[in-house]
């Protein structure tokens, strides 16, 4: 039971850690976006109400007055620069000439308060017979000074059929032609069902919607409630503004950087969590390499995502899923270098699944909460999905692993494989940290169906089976394996070289303590500034004395000459291929760094 709880706990912990890291990366990214994201140029839209103000239209007049603020807010929320105007009309044959509302001498305004005040001052007219002068009012509206770059939209609202012919406009076809000639982009009609067939020819060549006056609001007393819906129709009919090449480049750069910060935040959270989980630490070189890899992964995924969907909503889910699937795959593959024996190929698949799930959740959340909140919440979900999928992949495909128990309710696990899992008290050298134990106490490995346990202090190595337990300090280490795990070797000890001085020495360098055992190899990363004589990167190796295996020496396999200062003050040059006898207190000048035995 506790094992299952421990596995579930690990999945949730790493999911939460990745979510937190991804969220922090997103927050930092949002701050940077303010500086590098191109300032959007809002598309302009001018909406002119052509409103019947005869006595039967009192509800609609009040609706326009009361609902104009929400109407304009709807347009502005779609990143549109909106202006509104209004022409009031009645029956010109009854002497009721159209009224053009004026705002500081202009027929359009962005000031909704001023618009409400002006509409409230409109006086209703009698209207005469059933037909009204809607065609003349419509043509007059089309002639108003709309902004040159604006989408030009007219909203005709009336409960009466048009006069045909009107005083100036002879027919429906003539009205449409005059409106079309003025460059009107959208013509929306709010009319009665009975008049639909009469007005519909106005939209033969002009795009627009027809709204039934009877269905817009209950008893035609709440007309203001449907104005936002009409605003949505107007906004949705406006095409996406063409993005310039420079803006596109900046957008790709910004998206790539934002995604890279998500990747870096997720990596730092996961690797720190992994190291703390096992008690070890992340050294500077590992951290630097991991951050650089995460940066590259994020830049690639973010750039590809922007190229794939380019902000187009109809393909956003596909492009985002592909891009973040790549991000998850690359992050998980990189984590395989930090999570012991996590297979890279399987990590790729698990991370890709997590990225796709995160992308789908991201788009759903962004749509519900708006851009900024959606991006932040969506980023946290993305990190959570990637984090849990990495751990699920680690658990599902393992064949052998260690359970480190510090008590009945505190169990940690680490996979076994070809990579040796070291257990001891030196967090720099060991994957599993257990205090009050030798620097490196035990080494475990799973290879060829066999699980090996090496007692470093005793100098013994044996093949063990699942269920094998050993006490290490205050922890109990249990070897576990799936049913497929077999051992072709007996449990008897495997002979090791007789090295009584196996852990007698260590090298203190750059704040690190490296245990020097038989055949210990140091590479260019361990001793910075040295270059290897061969392509394997090894710059030093511990060898036993051929005449006395208990005497160890450090062989120079680099291209540089070392200077060794013995405890008695004697100085020796250790040229390439030469060996320095290890003795306590010896100081070694490797060139750019110094160490001490």
- Please give the Cα distance from 389 to 355 (Å, whole number): 9
Q: Phi and psi of 226, rounded to 5°?
A: -100, -5
In this predicted structure, the answer to whether residue 84 has a pLDDT above a threshold of 70 is yes
Least confident residue range of 334-343, 431-440, 497-506: 497-506
Q: Who contacts 214 (Cβ-Cβ below 8 Å, separation ≥6)? A: 192, 193, 220
Maximum average pLDDT range among 29-43, 169-183, 420-434:
169-183
CA proximity to 183, closest of 146, 140, 215? 146
Distance set, CA 551 to CA 326, 543, 554 (Å) = 52, 9, 11
- Please give the Cα distance from 160 to 125 (Å, whole number): 14
- DSSP H/E element including 67: helix 58-77
- DSSP H/E element including 587: strand 587-589
User: pLDDT value at position 221?
Assistant: 55
User: pLDDT value at position 253?
Assistant: 78
CA proximity to 531, closest of 581, 596, 591? 591
Q: Is 77 helix (H, G, I), strand (E, B) or coil?
A: helix
Our CA angle for 280, 286, 287, nearest 5°, is 90
CA atoms within 13 A on the CB side of 154: 30
CA proximity to 119, closest of 224, 34, 213, 26? 224
Mean pLDDT of 515-522: 81
Q: Are 136 and 167 in contact (CB under 8 A)?
A: yes
For the chain, give the number of residues.
597
- Please give the Cα distance from 551 to 582 (Å, whole number): 8
Maximum average pLDDT range among 177-181, 332-336, 497-501, 513-517:
177-181
Q: Are 156 and 57 in contact (CB under 8 A)?
A: no
User: pLDDT value at position 453?
Assistant: 92
- DSSP H/E element including 439: none
Q: What percent of the chain has pLDDT over 90?
A: 28
Q: Give 369's pLDDT tier (boundaries 50, 70, 90).
A: low
Mean pLDDT of 326-345: 85
CA proximity to 161, closest of 131, 190, 125, 189? 131
User: pLDDT value at position 478?
Assistant: 93
In this predicted structure, the answer to whether residue 551 has a pLDDT above a threshold of 70 is yes
198-231 pLDDT tens trace: 999 999 999 898 888 776 544 445 676 777 878 8
CA atoms within 13 A on the CB side of 187: 24
User: Is this structure's pTM higher than 0.75?
Assistant: no
Q: Are 187 and 221 in contact (CB under 8 A)?
A: no
Supply 50's token pair: 């052509």
Domains and CATH numbers, the chain: 2-40+242-396 (no CATH), 43-236 (3.40.50.410), 400-494 (2.60.200.20), 505-596 (2.60.200)
């Amino acid at each position: 039971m506790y094992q299952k709880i421990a596995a579930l706990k690990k999945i949730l912990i790493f999911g939460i850690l990745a979510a937190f890291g991804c969220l922090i990366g997103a927050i930092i990214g949002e701050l940077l976006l303010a500086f590098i994201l191109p300032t959007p140029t809002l598309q302009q839209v001018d909406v002119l109400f052509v409103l019947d103000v005869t006595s039967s239209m009192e509800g609609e007049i009040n609706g326009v007055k009361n609902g104009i603020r929400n109407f304009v807010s709807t347009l502005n929320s779609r990143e549109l620069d909106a202006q509104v105007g209004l022409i009031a009309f009645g029956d010109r044959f009854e002497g009721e000439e159209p009224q053009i509302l004026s705002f500081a001498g202009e027929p359009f305004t962005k000031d909704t308060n001023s618009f409400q005040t002006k509409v409230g001052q409109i006086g209703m007219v009698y209207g005469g017979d059933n037909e009204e002068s809607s065609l003349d009012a419509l043509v007059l509206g089309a002639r108003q000074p709309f902004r040159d770059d604006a989408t030009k939209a007219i909203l005709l609202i009336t409960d009466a059929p048009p006069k045909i012919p009107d005083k100036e406009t002879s027919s429906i076809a003539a009205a449409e032609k005059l409106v079309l000639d003025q460059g009107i982009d959208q013509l929306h009609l709010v009319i009665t069902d009975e008049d639909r067939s009469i007005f519909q020819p106005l939209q033969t060549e002009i795009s627009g919607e027809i709204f039934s006056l009877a269905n817009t609001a209950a008893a035609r007393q709440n007309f203001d409630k449907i104005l936002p819906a009409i605003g949505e129709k107007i906004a949705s009919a406006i095409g996406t503004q063409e993005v310039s090449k420079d803006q596109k480049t900046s957008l790709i750069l910004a998206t790539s950087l934002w995604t890279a910060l998500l990747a870096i935040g997720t990596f730092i959270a996961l690797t720190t969590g992994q190291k703390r989980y096992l008690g070890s630490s992340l050294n500077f070189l590992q951290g630097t390499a991991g951050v650089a890899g995460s940066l590259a992964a994020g830049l690639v995924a973010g750039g590809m995502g922007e190229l794939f969907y380019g902000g187009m909503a109809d393909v956003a889910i596909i492009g985002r899923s592909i891009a973040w699937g790549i991000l998850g795959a690359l992050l998980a593959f990189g984590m395989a270098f930090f999570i012991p024996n996590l297979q890279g190929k399987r990590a790729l698949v698990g991370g890709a699944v997590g990225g796709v799930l995160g992308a789908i959740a991201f788009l759903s959340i962004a749509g519900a909460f708006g851009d900024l909140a959606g991006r932040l919440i969506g980023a946290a979900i993305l990190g959570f999905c990637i984090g849990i999928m990495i751990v699920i992949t680690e658990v599902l495909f393992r064949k052998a692993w260690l359970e480190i128990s510090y008590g009945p309710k505190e169990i940690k696990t680490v996979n076994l494989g070809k990579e040796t899992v070291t257990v001891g008290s030196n967090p720099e050298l060991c994957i599993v940290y257990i205090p009050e134990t030798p620097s490196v106490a035990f080494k475990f490995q799973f290879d060829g169906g066999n699980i090996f346990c090496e007692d470093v202090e005793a100098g013994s190595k044996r093949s063990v089976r699942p269920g094998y337990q050993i006490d290490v300090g205050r922890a109990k280490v249990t070897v576990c394996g799936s049913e497929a795990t077999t051992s072709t070797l007996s449990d008897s000890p495997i002979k090791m070289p007789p090295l009584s001085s196996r852990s007698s020495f260590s090298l203190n360098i750059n704040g690190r303590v490296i245990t020097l055992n038989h055949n210990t190899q140091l590479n260019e990363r361990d001793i910075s500034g040295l270059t290897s004589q061969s392509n394997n990167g090894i710059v030093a190796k511990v060898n036993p004395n051929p005449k006395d295996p208990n005497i160890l020496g450090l062989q120079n396999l680099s291209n540089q000459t070392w200077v060794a200062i013995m405890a008695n003050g004697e100085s020796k040059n250790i040229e390439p291929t030469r060996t320095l006898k290890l003795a306590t207190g010896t100081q070694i000048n490797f060139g750019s760094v110094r160490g001490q035995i």
